[in-house]
Each structure stands twice: as C-alpha cells, then as structure tokens.
C-alpha cells in the first residue's frame, strides 16, 4: 500500500512539475509575442516619425528656397523697365527650380510701359510665354481664378495661394506671390511662382518609401494639394473619412504634428499616419505607412503564434492529467484515461489546423528579401541608376528606358505551366522608334510550339514625346512551381519580359503612372474579375532583376547579364478539392482501423469473430485504397518533390503495417506487457494521439 502511495505521489509531483512548466512556457510565448508586437510597433513609430520629419524638412527647405528667391526676384523686377529684358529675365528665372512650372510677373494697370494690363507667364512645359491679360482680367476682385494676384495686392504681403485651376497653364496649381514695390513704396504688381499639383505630388512621392506607403499634403483649409491618386486632389481631408474617425480628423486639423492609426481604404492596410506642419507655408505633410513598410515584413509573428498554440496544448493536457490523477482513487481510471486521450488528440488536431490557417492567410512573398517589389518611383529610380552605373563602367553607355505596362485578362495553371492572355503596352520614345523598333521577348515560353507566344499589335498612338504601342498576347510559360506544401502551397507566376536586341541597351521599366494603386495586395495589372478554379491570386507586382544568360548572343557587348522586367502574380491553391479528395479517404480508413483495434481482445470470446486473417485482409484493403488514391494524386501534380499531402499517405502505410503486426502478434498469443494491461487498452488509448502526433510533427516541420 505504501509503495502504491509512493508511486501516486511521484506521479502527482511529476504532473505538477509538467503543468507548471507548460504554464510557464505558455506565459513566456504569450509575453514574447506581445513584446515582439510592441517592439515592432515602437520601432515603426520611431522610423515613421523620423521619415515624417525628413520629408517635412525637405519640403520646407524646397518651399523656403522658392519663397526667399521670390522676395529677392521681386526687387529685381522693380528695377526692370524694358519689355525684352523682363521677358528674358522671367524665362531664366523659371528654370531656377525644377518644382516651379513657371514664373509670372503681373503689373497693376498702367504700371509697366504704359500698358493697361501686362502679365507674362513663362510655361516651362510648353517652352513659351503666355499672356494672362489676354485670357481674363487678373485684376478683377470678383474672379476666383484671379485671387493669386488680387489677394497679394490687397494685403501687400507675400502669401501662398489656395489651389485653383490656372487657365493659362491649364492645370491645377498653387502659387507663391510677392508684391513688387517701386522706389516710392507703391505696389505696382507681383511676381508669382506657380507649382503644379501633379509636379508637387511627384516630389512628395519621391520622398516617400514603402510598398504601401505614400505621402500627401494639405493646406490650412484641409484642401489636398498632393496625393498619388489624382481623384483626391482638392478634396478636403477634414471631410474625408476613409477609415478615419472624428478624433483623427480633429488631430489632423488642430495639431502641429502627430501620428494616428487607421485602416487606409487607399492601400487597404492598417497604417500609421504621420503628419507635420511645414513652417514655410503652414501646410501639413503626411506620410502613411504600414508597419511592414517601415521595418520590412517578418514571419516571426506567425511562428510565435504556433509556439503559443503548442504551449496552450501542453498546458491543457497537463491540467487534465493532473485533475484525473487527483480525482482517481488508485491512479487513473479507464474513463479518465479516455478523456485524456481525447483531449490530447483534439489539442494536436487543433495545432495542425492552426498551422494550416496561418499558412493559408499569410503572403510569404512579402518575406522574400532577395526580390524588391517596385511600388514607387524611388525604388525604380534607385535600381535604374544602379543599372546605368554598371553598364557605363563596361561600355561607356546608359540604358534607354521604356515604360512598360501589363494587364492580365485571364490565366490558367497546370503542374508547371501558366497560360496567360493579356495586354502589354510600351510608352516608346520617338528617338528610339526607328533605330530600335518596339518589341518584346519572353524567355520562359513553353517549348511546345502549339503553346508558344501569339502576339497581335493593337495600336500605335502618337503623343508629344513617345508612341504608345499596345499588343494583345497569348502565351504559355514554363514555371518553377513548388509542391512541397501541397495543397496549402503558395507559388508565383513570373512573366519575364526583355527587349529582343540586347545590343540596343533598351531597358524595359514598369509604367507605374498607369496604375492607380501599386499596393501588391490590390493586385494591380490584374483583371479584378479573373477566376482561376484551382487557385486564388493574392498579390501582383513588378520587379527588376538581372537575367544571367552566360552568353553575349554573338553581340560585341561584353555584358552577359541583363536587367529584366518581371510581372509577378502570387497565388495560393484552393485547398478544398485536394483536401476532400485525399484527407477524407484517409480519415475514413483511420476510423475503420480504429474500429478494428477497438474490438480486438486478447480473450478469444471478446474478439467478435475477429481473426488474424481478418486483420491482414482488412489491412490489405486499406493499403490498396490508399495506394490507389496516392498514385492518382501523384499523377495529377507531377512533381519531383515529396508533397505535404503525401506524408499523410506514408504515415498511414507505416501505421497500418505496425497495427497489423501488433494485432497479429496479440492474436498469436505473444506475451507482451503492452497487450496485458486492461486487455490491450494501451494500444487503443494511444491510437489517435500517436497518429495525430505524427501528423503534427511533419506538419510543423513543413510549415514552421
């Protein structure tokens, strides 16, 4: 009796220690995940605030230079009394700042050379003068479009105008006007520096970073002066909601600087909203970033959630075992053991499902740090500059850039091929059109002639500085898909595009301006109604990388690698069909195996007619069913790898074999302690936990 009590005490102590250890592990993993998230959030805020300050200071510096120069130039204009000299001076001044689209000098009636009104504006885009007095009366107090002039003259002070549509420039602009004062202190006119809102947007965008990050500015009234999506220009940020509540709007209106969080309907991501007032203008610059854009995407969060699942599972099992032991009079009773086995099985199954869920809901392409997604002009410019520098070192030349866009109308997938129908366009520079005619080359076209590239030129539309060339194409590409995680795998259709003649140094670059939103999760360049029965497209984006051909193709050019434009479509398999086709039959076989094991007995009269031959025959039937399903699945995916789904088949082959041998040995009267306790209860209790533990082990190994 004392020995039994000693064993019970030892078990109790062991279970208490295990329970405490499991609780400590769970607490640690939960704390670790929380600390990880808080740390990333804190670092995101720090990086974002630094970026916000950097952008605000850069804009302030640029705008301050404009305002300071405008003040100086107003004094220069006051001393000019010759029309040719004035026009020459205005033209020269207009080219001083890249941001300024043109300079206007406007005079009060009769204040210059006796002219009734005189207001020359030099338009840099057209390289010509436009005379505003010929378009409308800029001195009229009743015209909204004349406030750029009248507000400065009336106040006698330099000021930034509210945004308006400039008739002469035919675009939305914001102006900085400074009074021109003569020697007697009278205001005789103004000098005005016009900034196009579209040009201002490009400046802000160049300072912004990140895949889903973007920048915009707004003035004191809330009017948006710059935004990557033109439809937002001149809308009032204080009236827009787009995921922002009233507290956020009040902060944007009242605070000089700050940060708020909201779900952006522009990027479709939870984002940080960093804003800061510009000292030079009173406007506010805003940077919007998702957390991953500031620190880079990380898979650590998913792994830590898996760790928490394991910790919670161990804690639940340990608690139930301890409770069962405490309630039992003489150790564990049969009922409590079945409860413990059931809970253990459910915990293992729950962890398997958790890993599946995390894998299905995670875009793993974000963690590929070897490939940089081109989602803004800054990333593109950096890559182009690097490519130009490398080419210049080799052949003393630079690339001719051709903006190229893709729109995928539909596509279908097979084991290692992707069939695509879509449109491709190029904004082809006119100076290249004759010496290097437009065209494209797809290096991954299928070797089967019937599945090759079919292209049809749809249009050549001529613009001022380029020709828009559009093709429609149909192609089947060979792709290097991986099936290691099938049916929960993620793959990438890569449409690689090159200019055919490498000796011409033509570099195809993504035409970013032709896409409203470049956030990969919004799937730019992809037909929103595209439907692929076997898969779901979760992202699309452009990249630029070097193609290593290891040959010059007979050209004199020494470079054996070439910058290559690639359009990616990331997809995940719709797992329901392969899941039903494979897992359901496996589960049915497992249940039948458990029934055979459950009715087995060491006693002849307790076997319900079950014999050794019956066990062997049923096992052979189970093996035949599974092998047939396995072979069919293997033929369907045609992969040289061992797919994840196949591990279930291999585990079942092993399990069926071991169970058959064990039952045959028991029926033959082999005297193993494994069979003796409670009439083979150990095998029956361990059937589900052991099988699910095997499944959990290889699931963790494949997906962690």
The backbone region for 608, taken as left when phi is positive above 0, alpha when psi lies in -120 to 50, beta otherwise, is left
Q: Residue 176 in contact with residue 192, Cβ under 8 Å? A: yes
What are the tens digits of pLDDT across the range 297-312?
778 889 999 999 999 9
110: left (phi over 0), alpha (psi -120 to 50) or beta: left
Q: Are 506 and 545 within 8 A, CB to CB?
A: no
* 71: confidence class by pLDDT, cuts 50, 70, 90: very high
Distance (Å, whole) CA 565 – CA 567: 7
* Fold classified for 89-297: Beta-Lactamase (3.30.450)
Residue (of 224, 525, 245, 509) closest to 374 by Cα position: 509
What are the phi and psi torsion angles at 634 (to 5°)?
Answer: -65, -40
pLDDT for 8 beyond 70: no
Residues 607 and 664: their CA atoms lie apart, in Å, by: 13
Average pLDDT on 176-194 reads: 92
The residue whose two tokens read 């590929």 is 368
Q: Find all residues with CB under 8 Å of 116, minimum gap 6, and list them.
A: 109, 110, 133
Rounded average pLDDT over 408-421: 90
Say if residue 266's pLDDT is above 70.
no
Structure tokens given for 418: 């992707």
Tell me the mean pLDDT in the region 28-46: 87
| Cα–Cα distance for residue pair 172/194, rounded to 1 Å | 10
Is the bond leading into 487 cis (omega within 30 degrees of zero)? yes
Residue 509 pLDDT more than 70?
A: yes
317-339 burial, b at 16+ Cβ within 10 Å, e below that, comes to bbbbbbebbeeeeeeeeeebbeb
**Is 190 within 8 Å of 179 (Cβ atoms)?**
yes
Task: Give the pLDDT confidence score for residue 1 in this predicted structure.
Answer: 46
In this prediction, residues 167-190 reach a mean pLDDT of 86
Instruction: Please give the full DSSP string across 549-608, using - where no structure is assigned.
Output: -SS-TT-S----EEEEEEEEEEEEE-THHHHHHHHHHHHHHHHHHHHHHHT--SSGGGST
C-alpha distance across the termini of the chain, in Å? 48
Identify the CATH number of the domain defined by range 365-574: 2.70.170.10
Q: For residue 543, list its beta bridge partners.
A: 566
Report domain extents, the chain: 89-297, 365-574, 577-703
Instruction: For residue range 94-112, list pLDDT tens digits in order.
Output: 999 988 989 999 999 999 8
Whether the predicted pLDDT of 271 surpasses 90: no
pLDDT, tens digit, 9 for 90 and up, residues 371-396: 788 887 777 888 888 888 888 887 78
101 and 195 Cβ atoms separated by less than 8 Å = yes
Q: What percent of the chain has pLDDT over 90?
A: 35
Q: 559-595: per-residue pLDDT in tens?
A: 567 889 999 999 998 888 888 888 888 999 999 999 8
Q: How do residues 440-455 score in pLDDT, each as one tens digit?
A: 999 888 887 666 788 8
What is the per-residue pLDDT across 216-238, written as a single tens digit (0 to 9) for each? 888 888 888 888 777 778 888 88
Mean pLDDT, residues 624-628: 91
pLDDT of 211 higher than 60:
no
pLDDT in tens, 311-370: 998 888 888 877 776 665 455 577 888 888 899 999 999 999 999 999 998 888 877 767
- Measured distance CA(384)–CA(556) in Å, rounded: 23
Residues 6+ apart with CB under 8 A from 644: 484, 485, 486, 487, 488, 489, 698, 699, 702
**Highest-confidence range of 148-152, 294-298, 514-518, by mean pLDDT?**
148-152
Ramachandran quadrant class, 554 (left: phi over 0; alpha: psi -120 to 50; beta: rest): left
Could you tell me if 74 and 190 are in contact, meaning their C-beta atoms sit under 8 angstroms apart?
yes
Residues in CB range of 2: below 8 A, 6 or more apart: none
Q: Which of 15-19, 27-31, 405-409, 537-541 has the lowest mean pLDDT?
A: 15-19
Which residues have CB under 8 Å from 93's CB, separation 6+?
Answer: 73, 103
- What number of helices (H) and strands (E) belong to the chain? 15, 20
Among the residue ranges 3-17, 120-134, 379-393, 668-682, the one predicted with the least confidence is: 3-17
**Mean pLDDT value of segment 659-664:** 87
Reduced DSSP (H G I as helix, E B as strand, rest coil) percent helix, strand, coil of the chain, to 5: 45, 25, 30
> In this predicted structure, what is the pLDDT of residue 451?
63
Q: Under 8 Å CB-to-CB from 65, ≥6 apart: which residues?
A: 97
- Please report the DSSP string for 182-225 in residue order: -TTS-EEEEEEEEEEHHHHHHHHHHH--SSS-EEEEE-TT-BEE
CA-to-CA dists, residue 91 to 99, 102, 130, 229, 264, angstroms: 15, 8, 11, 31, 42
* Residue 171 near residue 151 (C-beta atoms within 8 A): no
Question: How far is 606 from 598, CA to CA, in rounded Å?
Answer: 11
* Summary mean pLDDT of the chain: 85
Rounded Cα distance, 297 and 521, in Å: 14
Closest CA to 491 of 538, 451, 453, 543: 538
Q: Say how far apart CA 559 and CA 632 lie, in whole Å.
A: 47
Closest by alpha carbon to 578, among 633, 537, 625, 622? Answer: 633
Q: What is the pLDDT of residue 450?
A: 65
Domain 577-703 in this protein, CATH class: mainly alpha
pLDDT at 165 over 50: yes
- 524-558 pLDDT, tens digit per residue, is 999 988 888 888 898 899 999 888 777 777 776 65
Q: Which residues have a Cβ under 8 Å from the Cβ of 279 and sit 6 or more positions away?
A: 60, 64
Angle separating helix axes 2-78 and 83-94, nearest 10 degrees: 170
């Amino acid at each position: 009796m004392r020995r039994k009590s000693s064993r019970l005490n030892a078990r109790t102590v062991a279970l208490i220690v295990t329970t405490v250890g499991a609780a400590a592990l769970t607490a640690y993993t939960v704390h670790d995940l929380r600390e990880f998230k808080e740390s990333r959030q804190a670092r995101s805020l720090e990086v974002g605030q630094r970026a916000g300050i950097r952008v605000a200071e850069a804009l302030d510096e640029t705008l301050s230079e404009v305002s300071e120069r405008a003040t100086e130039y107003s004094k220069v204009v006051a001393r000019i009394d010759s029309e040719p000299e004035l026009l020459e001076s205005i033209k020269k001044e207009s080219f001083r700042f890249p941001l300024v689209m043109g300079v206007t000098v406007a005079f009060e009636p009769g204040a210059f050379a006796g002219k009734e009104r005189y207001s020359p504006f030099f338009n840099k885009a057209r390289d010509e003068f436009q005379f505003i007095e010929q378009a409308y009366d800029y001195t009229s107090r009743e015209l909204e479009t004349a406030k750029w002039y009248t507000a400065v003259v009336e106040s006698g002070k330099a000021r930034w105008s509210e945004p308006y549509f400039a008739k002469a420039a035919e675009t939305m602009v914001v102006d900085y006007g400074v009074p021109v004062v003569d020697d007697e202190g009278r205001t005789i006119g103004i000098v005005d520096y016009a900034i196009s809102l579209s040009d201002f947007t490009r400046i802000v965008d160049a300072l912004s970073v990140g895949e889903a990050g973007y920048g915009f500015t707004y003035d004191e009234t809330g009017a948006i002066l710059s935004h990557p999506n033109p439809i937002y220009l001149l809308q009032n940020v204080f009236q827009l909601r787009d995921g922002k509540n009233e507290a956020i709007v009040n902060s944007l209106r009242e605070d000089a600087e700050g940060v708020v969080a909201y779900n952006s309907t522009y990027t479709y991501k939870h984002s940080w909203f960093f804003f800061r007032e510009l000292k030079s203008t009173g406007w506010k610059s805003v940077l919007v970033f998702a957390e991953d854009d500031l620190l880079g995407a990380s898979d650590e969060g998913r792994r830590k959630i898996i760790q928490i699942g394991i910790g919670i599972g161990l804690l639940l099992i340990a608690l139930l075992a301890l409770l069962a032991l405490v309630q039992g009079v003489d150790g564990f009773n049969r009922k409590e053991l079945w409860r413990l086995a059931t809970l253990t099985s459910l915990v293992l199954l729950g962890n398997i499902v958790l890993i599946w869920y995390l894998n299905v809901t995670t875009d793993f392409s974000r963690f590929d740090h070897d490939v940089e997604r081109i989602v803004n002009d800054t990333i593109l410019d950096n890559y182009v500059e690097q490519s130009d520098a490398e080419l210049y070192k080799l052949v003393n030349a630079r690339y001719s850039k051709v903006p190229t866009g893709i729109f995928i109308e539909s596509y279908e997938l097979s084991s290692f091929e992707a069939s695509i129908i879509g449109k491709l366009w190029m904004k082809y520079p006119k100076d290249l059109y004759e010496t290097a005619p437009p065209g494209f080359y797809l290096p991954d076209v299928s070797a089967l002639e019937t599945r090759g590239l079919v292209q049809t030129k749809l249009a050549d539309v001529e613009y001022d500085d380029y020709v828009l060339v559009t093709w429609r194409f149909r192609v089947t590409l060979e792709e290097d898909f991986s099936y290691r995680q099938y049916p929960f795998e993620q793959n990438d259709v890569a449409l690689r595009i090159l200019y055919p003649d490498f000796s011409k140094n033509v570099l195809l670059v993504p035409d970013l301006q032709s896409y409203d939103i470049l956030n990969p999760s919004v799937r730019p360049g992809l037909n929103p109604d595209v439907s692929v029965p076997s898969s779901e497209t979760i992202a699309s984006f452009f990249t630029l990388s070097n193609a290593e051909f290891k040959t010059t193709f007979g050209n004199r050019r020494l470079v054996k690698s070439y910058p290559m434009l690639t359009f990616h479509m990331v997809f995940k398999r719709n797992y329901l069909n392969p899941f039903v086709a494979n897992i359901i039959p496996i589960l049915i076989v497992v249940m039948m195996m458990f029934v055979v094991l459950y009715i087995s007995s060491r006693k002849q009269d307790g076997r319900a007619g079950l014999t050794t031959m019956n066990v062997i025959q049923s096992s052979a039937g189970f093996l035949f069913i599974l092998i047939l399903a396995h072979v069919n699945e293997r033929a369907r995916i045609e992969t040289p790898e061992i797919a994840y789904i196949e591990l279930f088949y291999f585990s079942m082959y092993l399990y069926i074999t071991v169970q058959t041998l064990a039952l045959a040995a028991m029926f033959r009267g082999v005297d193993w302690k494994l069979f003796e306790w409670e009439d083979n209860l150990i095998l029956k209790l361990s059937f589900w936990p052991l099988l699910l533990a095997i499944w959990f082990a290889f699931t963790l190994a494949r997906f962690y």
